[in-house]
Structure 1
């Protein structure tokens, strides 16, 4: 029950697309991740996914009922992908993000493309 420095948490690892769990709120993990390049198309059938961009810029491709679009999140922006919507995060520059997801949620969702080698299919790693 001590404060957690997000700067220190992010400095404790270097892997891309491999989130670390910094704390929990009720049944949700608060995760931080370093990202660059493409993730993969995926969807979470039972939960929304919250993104906060701490540094850099995050693009999120969305496959919505009316077609595809991309939202661009500069530093300091938040966005929630609604449950069931296919999405594909992409960071054109090194980016740091914070996510809220129910504990046990896979980073690649319930439905997804083949997972590329640079994406860690995990429910989050504990900080060391």
Structure 2
């Protein structure tokens, strides 16, 4: 009697375990879950690539400065004899006031309406 109870309980436990595993795997294979997993992997890969690119850019900048110092030393150029380094800045867009310029933007204060009487 105890053997039957033992094996019955063992079978029920194995069935519950197998059912749980199968249901978990089926949930992982739904389209929503696959899309979320793919999106997470893409974000992780993008972050890794960004980190590597930033590290590479910093290495290039350091090596560039080092090589520039080597060249200045080899050529005998002092730092005070060189012009200030150029800095790249964002160019602000200012609309043109010339109507013949293609970048001309009509001011909202002075609207141009052909139907107005002048």
Q: Return the index of the structure with the highest Cα Rg.
A: 2
TM range (shorter): under 0.3
TM-score, normalised by the number of residues in structure 2: 0.16
- Higher relative contact order (CA closer than 8 Å, sequence separation 6+): 1
Point out the structure with the larger helix share.
2
TM-score, normalised by the number of residues in structure 1: 0.16
